C-alpha cells in the first residue's frame, strides 16, 4: 500500500517549505518514514550518476549532510534530459523503498526529474564524482564549486557547529554576545598594520578596519561584566604563510571577573575543552584530501585537548632559557619565531598546548598590565598549539591611570580609553582566539586558507 507522507510532519517547526536531505535521512533513521511512503518534493544537485540499461542511479546532495539521497530513475524517462554532474534538479512524488541489507538504508524512486540548471559546462564539475582524494591546492583554485566536495562541505558544517557551540557555551556562562564596530580610529595592537579607509564621503582621514574589537569590548564589559564578540578582523601584515590571513574571524572575550593571568589561562582552557567535549564522531572529516589529517589523527587531536596533563605553562624567560639550551639563539626581549614555537610545543614539551606568560613589556601593546614582580614584563599569555603556533593571546588590562597614560601616546587618539580608568573602572581582562587557526587544528587542516570560505591573503589577487 502506498500512502502520501505529509511534508508538514517532516517540517514540524521548520521555516522551510520543503524538506532537506538531512531531515529526510533523520526521519527514516527515527522510523518516522516507512516503506512505500511518498515524499512530495526534494531539491538538490547531482553528485554522481550511474546509468544502466533500465535504471539510472543518482547521488543527490543539498549540503545539509554528508549522506546523499540515493535516487533511482527509469533510464528511458531521462534519455532526453541530459543530466550531468553539478546540475540542480527538483524531484516530485518520490517513493521510499527501504533497503536494510545495503550500505544505504533506503532509496527513493522517481519518474520525471525537473532540471533546474541546464548547463553546457557541467562536465567541468566531473571532479565532484571522483573517488580519489583531490589535493586542497586544486580545490582552493575552484572557488565556485569546491564546497560541493564532500570534504569541504563537511568542513563548512563543522565550522558552523563550532561557532554555534562556542556561542552556546559562553551564553550559558552569562557572557553576552555584542557587536563592536568594524570601522575605527584606533590600532589596538600598535603595529601599524591596518587597512586604511579612503572614501570621499568621509570627513575623517584616520579611519581603518579593526585589528581587534578589544578596546570597545572593554567599554561594554564595564556595563555587562562578561561580553564577547565574533567579528571579522583585518590585518595588513606582510606574512604570507599557511598560518596567516589578511581577513579572519576572532572570538574575543572581556570580563570583569577575569582579573589574574591564571584566571585567563583556566578560562580559555576550559572553554576549548568544553567545545571539544561537545563534538561527536559525525563531525570527523571523510574522504580526506592528500596531506591533511585523517579521521584517526583528527580524533587524536581532540583527545589530546581533553587531556589535562597536555596543557602546560612557562614564563617567557623560561622559554628563552630552554631555547638557548637547545641550539637556538635568542636574546631576552626578542620575539619567538614560529620554528621556536614549534620546537617548544612539539619537541621539548612532547606535543603539548603551551601557555607562555609574562612577556617583556616592549613586545606587547600598551594596554597590558605591568607585572608587580617585574615592571619590565606584563600580565599576559600566548597560547601555542602544536603545528599551528599561536592560537590565542590575552592579558589583564592596565587599570592604573598613571601607568596607562605613560603608555599611551597623544597621537593614538585614545583619550576616551584613558577616561574609562577615571570613571568607575574595575580590574578586568580578556583574550582573543584566532578562529581559523583553531578550526584548522580541530579539523586537521594544514593551511588556514582552507578554514574560511573565501580567503584573503596579503599577496593573493582577489578575484571573487
Pairing of strands 353-357, 380-385: antiparallel
Per-residue three-class SS string for 358-418 = CCEHHHCCCCECECCCCCCEECEEEEEECCCEEEEEEEEECCCHHHHHHHCCHHHCCHHHH
Enumerate domains of the chain plus CATH numbers.
3-129 (2.40.50.140), 146-451 (3.30.930.10)
Q: At 304, list the grid cell.
A: 589530546
pLDDT in tens, 136-171: 888 887 888 888 888 899 999 999 999 999 999 999
pLDDT in tens, 50-104: 999 999 999 999 999 988 999 999 998 887 777 888 889 999 999 999 998 888 8
CA distance 214 to 432: 8
CA distance 59 to 61: 7
Band (293; pLDDT cuts 50, 70, 90): very high
Q: Which of 14-23, 124-133, 239-248, 348-357 has the lowest mean pLDDT?
A: 124-133
Distances (CA, A) of 109 to 42, 71, 81, 96, 275: 12, 6, 17, 7, 40
Average pLDDT over residues 446-462: 87
| Average pLDDT score over the chain | 89
CA distance 280 to 113: 35
The conformation of residue 396, written as its DSSP 8-state character, comes to: E
Residue in 312, 325, 308, 428 with CA at minimum distance from that of residue 368: 428
Instruction: Determine contact, residues 357/383, Cβ cutoff 8 Å.
Output: no
- State the angle between helix axes of 150-172 and 435-443 in degrees (0 to 180), rounded to the nearest 10: 120
Average pLDDT over residues 251-261: 98
124 vs 377, more confident = 377
pLDDT in tens, 332-363: 999 999 999 999 999 999 999 999 999 999 99
Phi-psi region of 93 (alpha: psi -120 to 50; beta: other; left: phi over 0): left
Phi, psi of 340 (to 5 degrees): -70, -45
Q: Which of 179-188, 377-386, 452-461 has the lowest mean pLDDT?
A: 452-461
Q: What percent of the chain has pLDDT over 70?
A: 92
The conformation of residue 346, written as its DSSP 8-state character, comes to: I
pLDDT at 127 over 70: no
Number of CB atoms found within 10 A of residue 421's CB: 18
Q: How far is CA 449 from the centre of its chain?
A: 11
Band (398; pLDDT cuts 50, 70, 90): very high
CA distance 158 to 103: 24
DSSP-assigned beta bridge partners for residue 106: 98
Residue in 423, 415, 411, 378 with CA at minimum distance from that of residue 397: 378
Q: At 207, list the grid cell.
A: 579611519
Biggest alpha carbon–alpha carbon distance for the chain: 84
pLDDT at 1 over 50: no
Phi, psi of 379 (to 5 degrees): -80, 95
CA distance 383 to 422: 32
CA distance 72 to 202: 59
Number of CB atoms found within 10 A of residue 220's CB: 19
pLDDT at 172 over 90: yes
Q: Is 265 strand, coil or helix?
A: helix
186 vs 228, more confident = 228
Amino acid at each position: 500500500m502506498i500512502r502520501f507522507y505529509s511534508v508538514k510532519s517532516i517540517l514540524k517547526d521548520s521555516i522551510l517549505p520543503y524538506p532537506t536531505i538531512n531531515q529526510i535521512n533523520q526521519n527514516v533513521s527515527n522510523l518516522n518514514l516507512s516503506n512505500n511512503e511518498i515524499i512530495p518534493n526534494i531539491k538538490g544537485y547531482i553528485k554522481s550518476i550511474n546509468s544502466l540499461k533500465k535504471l539510472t542511479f543518482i547521488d543527490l546532495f543539498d549540503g545539509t549532510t554528508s549522506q546523499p539521497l540515493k535516487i533511482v530513475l527509469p533510464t528511458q524517462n531521462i534519455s532526453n534530459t541530459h543530466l550531468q554532474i553539478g546540475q540542480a534538479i527538483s524531484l516530485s512524488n518520490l517513493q521510499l523503498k527501504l533497503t536494510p541489507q545495503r550500505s544505504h538504508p533506503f532509496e527513493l524512486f522517481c519518474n520525471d526529474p525537473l532540471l533546474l540548471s541546464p548547463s553546457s559546462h557541467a562536465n567541468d564539475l566531473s571532479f565532484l564524482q571522483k573517488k580519489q582524494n583531490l589535493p586542497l591546492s586544486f580545490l582552493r583554485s575552484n572557488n565556485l564549486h569546491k564546497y560541493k566536495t564532500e570534504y569541504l562541505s563537511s568542513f563548512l558544517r563543522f565550522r558552523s557547529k563550532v561557532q554555534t557551540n562556542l556561542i552556546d557555551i559562553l551564553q550559558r556562562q552569562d557572557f553576552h554576545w555584542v557587536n563592536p564596530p568594524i570601522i575605527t580610529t584606533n590600532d589596538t595592537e600598535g603595529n601599524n598594520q591596518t587597512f586604511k579607509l579612503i572614501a570621499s564621503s568621509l570627513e575623517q582621514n584616520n579611519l581603518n578596519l579593526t585589528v581587534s574589537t578589544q578596546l570597545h569590548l572593554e567599554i561594554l564589559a564595564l556595563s555587562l561584566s562578561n561580553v564577547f564578540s565574533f567579528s571579522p578582523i583585518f590585518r595588513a601584515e606582510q606574512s604570507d604563510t599557511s598560518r596567516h590571513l589578511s581577513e579572519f574571524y576572532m572570538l574575543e572575550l572581556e570580563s570583569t571577573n577575569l582579573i589574574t593571568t591564571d584566571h585567563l589561562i583556566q578560562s580559555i582552557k576550559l572553554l576549548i575543552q568544553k567545545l571539544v567535549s561537545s563534538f561527536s564522531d559525525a563531525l570527523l572529516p571523510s574522504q580526506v584530501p592528500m596531506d591533511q589529517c585523517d579521521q584517526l589523527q583528527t580524533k587524536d587531536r581532540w583527545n589530546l585537548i581533553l587531556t589535562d596533563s597536555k596543557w602546560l605553562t612557562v614564563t617567557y624567560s623560561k622559554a628563552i632559557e630552554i631555547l638557548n639550551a637547545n641550539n637556538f639563539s635568542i636574546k631576552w626581549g626578542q620575539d619567538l619565531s614560529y620554528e621556536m614555537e614549534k620546537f617548544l610545543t612539539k619537541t621539548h614539551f612532547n606535543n603539548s598546548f603551551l601557555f607562555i606568560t609574562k612577556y617583556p613589556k616592549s613586545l606587547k601593546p600598551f594596554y597590558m598590565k605591568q607585572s608587580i614582580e617585574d615592571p619590565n614584563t606584563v600580565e599576559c599569555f600566548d597560547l601555542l598549539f602544536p603545528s599551528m603556533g599561536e592560537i590565542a593571546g590575552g592579558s589583564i588590562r592596565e587599570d592604573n591611570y598613571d601607568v596607562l597614560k605613560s603608555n599611551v601616546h597623544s597621537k593614538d587618539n585614545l583619550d576616551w580609553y584613558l577616561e574609562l580608568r577615571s570613571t568607575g573602572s574595575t580590574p578586568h581582562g580578556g583574550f582573543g582566539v584566532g578562529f581559523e587557526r583553531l578550526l584548522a587544528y580541530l579539523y586537521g587542516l594544514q593551511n588556514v586558507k582552507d578554514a574560511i570560505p573565501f580567503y584573503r591573503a596579503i599577496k593573493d589577487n582577489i578575484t571573487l
